[in-house]
Structure 1
């Protein structure tokens, strides 16, 4: 069953674009490890927030991805730019009108 991780990352004022750059670096490793979709977004209404929507083949694949060296490096690079405010939801996808 497809697993979704949809969340928000609070960033330090003025650092949003730096976080976006880190999160959007091309990575074939994610797809090779079960990531179906990884989308990063911003909103002018929330200038100090980055939105992330991920779809994975399973919750286990998502959890395992956090142990990949390239993912650890991205997290380490982004952490000093974050405010510590996080939000979001994790859930199993049960269907879609597109498939």
Structure 2
């Protein structure tokens, strides 16, 4: 199996980027206990604080899918949904580079 990477671009409703970022930072903290998650980084666009980017690297796509089914993840998703205007996921297959095994 190969590693799975994903960039998620979350556009929050106006003025809700900070709240959304806090929930995603909670997800990042929770991901530390998930052995399938190799990194989960939350970023705010410098020129638009209502646009939040998440950069993820997982052992494989199955580990990512399993994490989304977790009860805690489901609760965070439920809290985040009203804050989100749109989501643009970009699924990737890592090829190599610094930080990849």
TM-score range, shorter chain: 0.7 to 0.9
Q: Runs of 5+ in structure 1 lacking a partner?
A: none
Cα RMSD, aligned residues only: 1.6
State how far apart, in whole Å, the 2-side matches of 1:93 and 1:46 are.
28
Q: How big is the shift at 1:33?
A: 4.4
**Contact map agreement 1:33 1:65 (CA 8 A) in 2:** no
State how far apart, in whole Å, the 2-side matches of 1:62 and 1:4 are.
9
Partner of 2:84: 82
State how far apart, in whole Å, the 2-side matches of 1:98 and 1:8 are.
22
Could you list the runs of 4 or more consecutive aligned residues of structure 1 that deviate by over 2 angstroms after TM superposition? 30-33
Question: What are the within-5 Å matches in structure 2 for residues 85-96 of structure 1?
Answer: 85-96=86-97
Q: How big is the shift at 1:57?
A: 0.2
Q: TM-score, normalised by structure 1?
A: 0.88
State how far apart, in whole Å, the 1-side matches of 2:39 and 2:87 are.
20
- How many pairs are equivalent? 97
Q: How big is the shift at 1:7?
A: 1.6
Question: What are the within-5 Å matches in structure 2 for residues 61-80 of structure 1?
Answer: 61-80=63-82
State how far apart, in whole Å, the 1-side matches of 2:6 and 2:30 are.
18
